[in-house]
Chains A and B, each alone.
Chain A
Amino acid sequence: MSLEIQRLISQIQDMAQVAARQVAELEHLIPKAEGALHAHAGEDPQELIEKISRAGQSWRGAIPTSEAIDAIFSTPPIPSKFTALGADGSQILPDRHSLALYYLINTGSIVVQHGSGDAPLTASHPRIFYEEQDLYPTGDALIKSEWIVALRDVAEMAELARLADGDQGAPSLALLDNGLLLWIVGQEGVIPSTQIDRLKTEYQRSMQRIRTSGSALAGFVDRPRSANVIRMLHLAGLPKEEISDEALRAHPFQRLNDGMLFSRLLSAGQRSARFGIISPINQDFSLAGHGIQFFYLNSGYRDQIARIEIPDWVGENDALMQLVHAGIVEECRTTGMPYVLARAHELAVVSQSDRQTLERALQAFLMEQGLQVEISQKERAKRWLGLGRRSTRRSHLL
């Protein structure tokens, strides 16, 4: 171990004190935010929507839906039979110290048929990218990591669509381990806009396949830090004529987030009202018929608060909403996050040891082709230093 913890002790103590002070300050704000939520729930929703329209393009708050903003919903009955689908992905980014230049995307997925007693169906789909057009898609520079992450996001949604297509019979709930908006859409300049459009189209096509299959779709965000509802409450308290960028920035609930507010309001299994997301990406998704809403949920596992994102077509369909709500609560019962997402992650994750096994195989096949290749000396030295001691839990050789 090279980090000298002893030398950090006083800094860690200071850090803990600051954290405790911040928590106390935020605790003080929560009742005020709660009061604002109830107060504005009784007002004309049209008034709030008008204020939101005055807030400008850069404001990132929530917009009410047909549900009262302080509404709370208890867990609907858990269906005796339903299918939970989960997909997750991981990647190996190109590394110039590696044996060869390549990247890899692996998606893991699982289908659990609740009420059947059967072992779930699992799958993983690893794919390695090594051709010139994969590595240098714009001709000159090596593909950026953001682009690879976006390809992974698209692959995750495509995998969910594949599972939803094949699912017949019991109602099914398709879950992703994240929000549902494709992050790269808001990152113009990182990759060419034509490529963003292509990725977005493919992603939304998969969402449409899930919709057509009759499945519900939801994204699960654990420990959310977003403050869309908090910003909305501040905006709702401003007189219309005082709404300006400056007034919106200087709000009394700074650093308070939605999760903190709803952890006070929601008991085990309860969900908040649905809200819309104000953002250019969501506008774009709305135009394609897949605008995103969200709500907060106490999963029932140690009072964990999660943010659940759903497309409009789920939010406005009572049966699908009930399945999302009850299904996620049931899925969280043993592991604190949806079981299918925990397992999809396990099936997708590429560990350091997996990577080394892959590279050993790659080295052997390259040698068969007469190519003598090695990792860089820097990488080799890092591996020597990172080896550590062997676990004592392993059974010994005689």
Chain B
Amino acid sequence: MSKNPVLIARVTRCSTRSFVGASRLPEPDVPTFGSFCKASAQRGQSEVIGLIYDIRIEDDEFTRQIAIASDPPREQLADNRFSRLIPIEISCLSVGYRIENEFTQRIPPQPPMTLDEVYALTDDEVREFTAGLDFVPLVFAAPGLAADDLVTAALQHAARVRAKNERRGFLIEAGRVCAKYLSVDLPRLERLVRSLTP
């Protein structure tokens, strides 16, 4: 949970539907699946809001050598875990944008540019963005994603940044929104609602 913007990556490739950023954050700061982020676009006139759907830590032959060595020195383990330039790749689904402090939950007009900074949304920003839930169908419509898990993680994240007495109401409303889109697949809806239940 963040109060201030935390730089989590820089954009390496992008489209209007999604963007991928690379970072080398130490472990505790690696953002989590289903959390929200933002990257500037249109030369700073707008911000694209992303939902993290994949986090990938690359390896290389050097790391594999250390991994298979018998009793590798602790210093080498620490080096490979904390210091080496092994990028963490963060893939984000574009679920909205912000222009002049107003959030819109649609595909953004333009993607961010290469090497633009990606920040985690602050708690206040997550609360404000998830005041509406029009981003949910964008997630269901995205091809090839674990959409139900991603929606669940995003909604639970959004619930956690709210006051305790608001969480239950928020999740009930979120369940209603999901029901609108999954009413033709009741077993799936049931699974999703069960996983949203606090």
Contact = CB atoms under 8 A, between A and B. Distances in A.
A119 interface: yes
- Kindly name the residue among B20, B72, B73, B83 whose own CB sees the greatest number of chain A CB atoms within 10 A: B73
Contacts of B54: 395
Contact of A112 (B79, B89, B93, B143): B79
A120 B79 contact: yes
B72 A118 contact: no
A343 B60 CA distance: 13
Contact of A119 (B18, B65, B78): B78
B62 A395 contact: no
B84 interface: yes
B25 interface: no
**Interface size classification for chain A:** 20 to 34
- Kindly name the residue among A110, A119, A120, A398 whose own CB sees the greatest number of chain B CB atoms within 10 A: A398
Interface string A111-132: 0111011111010000000000
Interface stretch (A16-24, A135-143, A317-325, A332-340): A332-340
B130 to A, nearest CB: 21
Nearest to A84: B75
A346 B65 CA distance: 15
B181 interface: no
A122 B69 contact: no
Contact of A120 (B69, B83, B91): B83
B75 A398 contact: no
What does DSSP make chain B's interface, helix, strand, loop or mixed?
A: mixed
A278 to B, nearest CB: 38
Interface in B116-145: 142-145
Given A333-B69, A334-B66, A334-B69, A395 B75 contact: no
Contact of A113 (B17, B65, B75): B75
B3 interface: no
B74 interface: yes
Contacts of B65: 334-336
A397 interface: yes
A243 interface: no
A116 to B, nearest CB: 7
A342 interface: yes
Interface in A311-353: 330, 333-336, 339, 342-343, 346
A146 B66 CA distance: 36
B75 A117 contact: yes
B76 interface: yes
A113 B79 CA distance: 11
Nearest to A119: B78
Nearest to B65: A335
A397 B13 contact: yes
A122 B56 CA distance: 24
B6 interface: no
B83 A119 contact: yes
A247 to B, nearest CB: 47
Contacts of B89: 394-395
B75 A335 contact: no
A395 B91 contact: yes
A388 B73 CA distance: 39
B85 interface: yes
A395 B20 contact: yes
A346 B13 CA distance: 24
- Kindly name the residue among A113, A116, A343, A397 whose own CB sees the greatest number of chain B CB atoms within 10 A: A397
Interface in B36-88: 54, 56, 62, 65-66, 69, 72-76, 78-79, 81-85
Given A395-B91, A398-B15, A112 B75 contact: yes
B191 to A, nearest CB: 23
Contacts of B179: none
Nearest to A116: B75
Nearest to B54: A395
Interface in B90-109: 91, 93
Nearest to A331: B73
A398 B142 CA distance: 7
Contacts of A336: 65
A154 B73 CA distance: 31
Nearest to A393: B58
B192 interface: no
B75 A118 contact: yes
B182 interface: no
A39 to B, nearest CB: 40
A397 B89 CA distance: 12
A339 B20 contact: no
A74 B154 CA distance: 60
Contacts of B18: 397-398
A334 B65 CA distance: 7
8 contacts: A119-B78, A334-B72, A343-B84, A395-B91, A397-B15, A397-B18, A397-B20, A398-B145
Interface of A: 110, 112-114, 116-120, 122, 330, 333-336, 339, 342-343, 346, 394-398
Given A114-B75, A396-B144, 5 more contacts: A112-B75, A119-B81, A333-B69, A397-B13, A398-B93
